[in-house]
Amino acid sequence: MTTPSPETLAAAGLQLDLTGPVATITLDRPDVRNAQTPTMWRALADLGAGLPGDVRVVVVRGNGPAFSAGLDRRLLDPSSIGGEEESVAGLVTLSDAELSATIDAYQRGFTFLRDPRFVSVAAVHGYAIGAGFQLALACDLRVLSSDAQLSMKEAALGLVPDLTGTKPLVESVGYARALEICATARMVGADEAVRIGLALAAVPTEQLDSTVADLVQALVAPLPGAVTEIKTLLQGADERDLETQRRLEREAQVRRFREMAALAGGR
């Protein structure tokens, strides 16, 4: 599958830049603080499915004053958006099976960021609310600007986070803190996010791009197969017993030795 055209991505409020092994995905609806829509989620899923095989790092960022203010609230009122965009309010007219399948399609715009082929990095500045927070959580690593404000706002709307954010949140901060963050819908500032394990670092806004660029450079330095194997090993490691994890480590290392030997023999 090929990546969507620039025109298709632009219509969904997205930009894609491919520079060598690095893909940068930019949320590009700055006039509404990169509020998200079902069209955007479906385009993200298509974009992820069509990324070239040589991509090793995916950076997700937002254009304008915020990473993403979350769901475009106009989608809660079908009369305010016309017929060009799916209405979230209209989901209630679907059967349970249809509604579940629709949410599954939306979730695929987030899950591709966990693909072991590459490491995903969220560069977060300003607000990352609701779906914006979940998009950042879908990435493997998060770097924040000092003005970043994160919030899982769904509970305030009577909803639950359903764009794959609950698992990485618990993995990052533990059950009790994750429950408190979700149930209260409060803001988490950049310094707290680093302290509780949500982010690698919080840096001044003017240093965010350079900090992420340095991280990306470090991530593409090792041989690609090694990073892919490491990401695969670490995903779900806390849910495996030691014997299973040891076996997977051995199997991965055998593959690495064989690939390294093949590369040496080809010289």
- What pLDDT is attached to residue 2? 87
**For residue 128, which phi and psi values (nearest 5 degrees)?**
-130, 90
Q: Pairing between strand 201-203 and 119-124?
A: unpaired
Give per-residue pLDDT as tens, 164-185.
999 999 999 999 999 999 999 9
Per-residue burial over 55-93, b = 16 or more CB atoms within 10 Å of its CB, e = otherwise: bbbbbbbbbbebbbbbbbebbeebeebeeebbbbeeeee
Give one word for 79, left, alpha or beta, with left for phi > 0 and alpha for psi -120 to 50. Answer: alpha
146 close to 202: Cβ distance less than 8 angstroms:
yes
13 pLDDT tier (thresholds 50, 70, 90):
very high
Between CA 149 and CA 133 the distance in angstroms is 9
Give per-residue pLDDT as tens, 137-172.
999 999 999 999 999 999 998 999 999 999 999 999
105 close to 45: Cβ distance less than 8 angstroms:
yes
Query: Count of CB atoms within 10 A of residue 10's CB?
Result: 14
Does residue 11 register a pLDDT over 60?
yes
136 close to 172: Cβ distance less than 8 angstroms:
no
Does residue 37 register a pLDDT over 70?
yes
Does residue 88 register a pLDDT over 80?
no
Does residue 217 register a pLDDT over 60?
yes
- What pLDDT is attached to residue 264? 85
Does residue 236 register a pLDDT over 60?
yes
86 pLDDT tier (thresholds 50, 70, 90):
confident
Mean pLDDT, the chain, integer: 94
pTM recorded for the entire structure: 0.94
107 pLDDT tier (thresholds 50, 70, 90):
very high
- What pLDDT is attached to residue 82? 57
- What pLDDT is attached to residue 249? 97
Between CA 253 and CA 169 the distance in angstroms is 30
Closest CA to 36 of 125, 135, 119, 118: 135
Taking the CA atoms of residue 133, residue 44, residue 48 and residue 163 in that order, the dihedral angle to the nearest 10 degrees is 40
28 close to 34: Cβ distance less than 8 angstroms:
yes
Does residue 83 register a pLDDT over 90?
no
Give per-residue pLDDT as tens, 38-80.
999 999 999 999 999 999 999 999 999 999 999 988 777 666 5
Tokens encoding 4: 């969507």
Does residue 18 register a pLDDT over 90?
yes
Give per-residue pLDDT as tens, 252-261.
999 999 999 9
Q: Pairing between strand 141-145 and 57-62?
A: unpaired
